[in-house]
Each structure stands twice: as structure tokens, then as C-alpha cells.
């Protein structure tokens, strides 16, 4: 994944889009569940190619994947397509296919502004969620003291929320595993 996006509006919109998608997915690979905190590079993986301007910076056209899974999906397009159907559903993919028409003109200047607003909104919501998750007043007060150090503040908020999201993801995975087991048992008992 390129780290130098350039300086024009299209490049800025693409860079912000990548950040918004990875932030939305809590810097966690949607395929394997590994996180940036575990030392893996998390990338923005497009469903429809970035070469199609109409969907290039659409938040619905990308997922966060670790570098390894991003490479695997690019080498196994049929496996990727099946996984996308299960993960996102056919309606989501139909929307992208209808929007992803080649030759559509896109105003990337407007997209830069929209993605900057989304990024700020995600950060604000993360902070609200963190404060809601932590009950003690002293913890909230001490947390507010970190605002003077913006980098430290953002890092702590991100780490706390990633931890909370990882716990939620773990419980969802457990439920999905149970459903898969149940489905496998039903399939093995039902003869066509």
C-alpha cells in the first residue's frame, strides 16, 4: 500500500478515506481479527478497485485488513468474493456494483472535506464511548488531564476503545463459531 498519496485533492481524499476506514474498523483486520496493537500493519482494502473514481473513497467500498490478509484476498479473488457476500451481504455488494461505474466524474475537493469531518466525528465518538465505558469519576477526571498532550490523549483513547472492541469481537466470534457448528451438525443430519 502506498504511503505517499501525493498533494492533490484526489490523493488527500484517498489518504483520509484510508484513515477513516481503518479507524471505523478499529485498526482491526476484518478477516482474521488481528490488530495494529499486535504489531501488524492494517491497510485499507478496496472491494471495487481504486481505479473506479465513483467508489474510490466510498466508505462502504473498503474494509480494514492486515497486510497478510490483504495480499491473500488479492491472490484469491473467488474466496474474497464469497467472504464479502457472507460478511457484507448481497445488498451491500449490489449497491457498490451499481455505483461503481467507470467514467463518473468525482469532485475530490468535496470528498476531502467530507472525510475530514468523518475522521473528527469518529474521534469524538470514541472519546464519548470511552467516558461512558469508564464509570469512576476519578478516572474520567484523570483522563481529561491528558488533553494537554494531544498525541498521548489520542493514543490512550484508541487503546481503550480497541480493547473494548476486541472483547466485543471475541464474543461475536464465539457466537459465530457456535452457529457454524450448529449449521454443520444440521447439514450432516439432513440428506438431500
Alpha-carbon span 103 to 70, nearest angstrom: 26
Residues 110/104, Cβ–Cβ less than 8 Å? no
| Total-model pTM | 0.55
132 or 66, which is more confident: 66
Residue 128 CA from chain centroid, whole number: 19
Which tens digit of pLDDT belongs to each residue from 61-108? 999 999 999 999 999 999 999 999 999 999 998 888 888 765 567 777
Per the prediction, the chain carries an average pLDDT of: 78
Which tens digit of pLDDT belongs to each residue from 14-58? 888 888 899 889 889 999 999 888 888 999 999 998 888 888 888
DSSP, res 26: T
44 DSSP β-pair partners: 64
- DSSP for 127-187? HHHHHHH---HHHHHHHHHGGGSHHHHHHHHHHHHHHHHHHHHHHHHHHHHHHHHHHHHHH
Alpha-carbon span 176 to 95, nearest angstrom: 26
Average pLDDT over residues 110-136: 68
Amino acid at each position: 500500500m502506498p504511503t505517499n498519496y501525493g498533494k492533490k485533492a484526489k490523493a488527500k481524499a484517498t489518504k483520509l478515506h484510508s484513515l477513516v476506514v481503518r479507524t471505523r474498523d478499529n485498526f482491526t483486520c476484518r478477516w482474521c481479527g488481528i490488530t495494529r496493537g499486535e504489531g501488524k500493519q492494517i491497510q485499507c482494502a478496496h472491494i471495487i478497485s481504486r481505479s473506479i473514481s465513483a467508489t474510490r473513497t466510498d466508505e462502504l467500498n473498503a474494509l480494514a485488513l492486515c497486510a497478510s490478509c490483504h495480499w491473500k484476498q488479492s491472490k484469491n479473488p473467488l474466496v474474497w468474493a464469497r467472504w464479502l457476500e457472507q460478511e457484507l451481504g448481497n445488498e451491500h455488494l449490489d449497491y457498490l456494483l451499481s455505483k461503481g461505474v467507470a467514467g463518473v466524474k468525482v469532485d475530490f475537493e468535496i470528498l476531502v472535506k467530507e472525510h475530514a469531518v468523518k475522521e473528527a466525528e469518529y474521534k469524538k465518538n470514541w472519546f464519548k464511548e470511552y467516558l461512558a465505558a469508564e464509570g469512576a469519576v476519578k478516572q474520567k477526571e484523570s483522563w481529561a488531564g491528558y488533553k494537554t498532550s494531544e498525541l498521548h490523549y489520542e493514543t490512550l483513547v484508541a487503546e481503550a476503545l480497541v480493547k473494548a472492541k476486541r472483547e466485543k469481537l471475541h464474543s461475536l466470534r464465539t457466537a459465530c463459531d457456535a452457529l457454524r457448528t450448529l449449521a454443520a451438525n444440521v447439514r450432516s443430519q439432513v440428506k438431500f
